Structure 1
């Protein structure tokens, strides 16, 4: 199964991006996980540009179209969806690539439930195949890169990540 993992963070040292990279490594030969970490590089959404979108938007849309499913991981900013991720979603809302695409969430913090609630509403509106039940959460907030690597390489978390990907693959294939 081919997954696109989208990081909602524009931060280079993002814990959510680190979680997605660990998912990518845990996938092994069973699945392919590509990571999109360019939400901070997308131009601000404008309905005037939808018919001829900027190249960065077209590239994201193609990556989504080529994937069997999407995994989103995002931090919470002021109890809400970060602007870069919301902007990326705004670019996709009137396009066809996401409408029937299976979508799930992963989260790299012990908190952020307000943002997750809002993101669940947005994703359920965006895709009829958003799976709210399938969710991976591994608390990485405030850890150093070395501590993050150690936590994510722990056998329990490796098993959790592989199980998450396998369950998502079954969901993607169930339609």
Structure 2
């Protein structure tokens, strides 16, 4: 089972990226989590270029999503909203449909982030992604100075992230069985 992990943060020492890297360390056997590091390389969305024939970064992003059985997204909140880089990436998918029916889990690494998480859930629902509520969680990571190994070593965080992965994997398996 292949899960594509997308961090909504472009920051080098992002807690969002660290959470996803920790989830890759904690993934059960048979679940491969691949992080996508290409959001910064996506051009600003332009509907006139939506066929993406000349845009390698867009094609690579769409191909990575098509190859994935499920998606993990961890995103910060900027000015009470979804970061521009993540929203831009999602805009590139509206017309091409890579998220339609795809199981998606949202990870919120900051209990203080109250607005972006529901906005992201709304955006993904409108895009017809299969938002897995049981796999979409808030964990207290932000501001603690933990890297991926530190997050994976924390018993409480590890347990919550493993449980989210279990729910996402179950949603992927259920979708496969129904197909």
User: Structure 2-normalised TM-score?
Assistant: 0.90
Change (3 A) 1:53 1:165: farther
CA distance in 2, matches of 1:112, 1:162: 22
Deviates more, 1:72-81 or 1:128-137: 128-137
Aligned residue for 2:61?
A: 60
User: Structure 2: which 5+ runs fail to align?
Assistant: none
CA distance in 1, matches of 2:23, 2:59: 25
User: Structure 1-normalised TM-score?
Assistant: 0.92
CA distance in 2, matches of 1:67, 1:50: 21
Secondary structure class of the residue paired with 1:6: strand
Aligned residue for 2:36?
A: 36
Aligned residue for 2:115?
A: 114
Aligned residue for 1:87?
A: 88
Contact 2:65/2:99, CA 8 A, preserved across alignment: yes
Deviation at 1:159?
Answer: 2.4
How many residues matched? 174
CA distance in 2, matches of 1:53, 1:172: 32
Cα root mean square deviation, aligned: 1.6
Matches within 5 A, 1:1-175: 1-51=1-51, 52=53, 54-145=55-146, 149-175=149-175
Secondary structure class of the residue paired with 2:77: coil
Change (3 A) 1:31 1:100: same
Secondary structure class of the residue paired with 2:115: helix
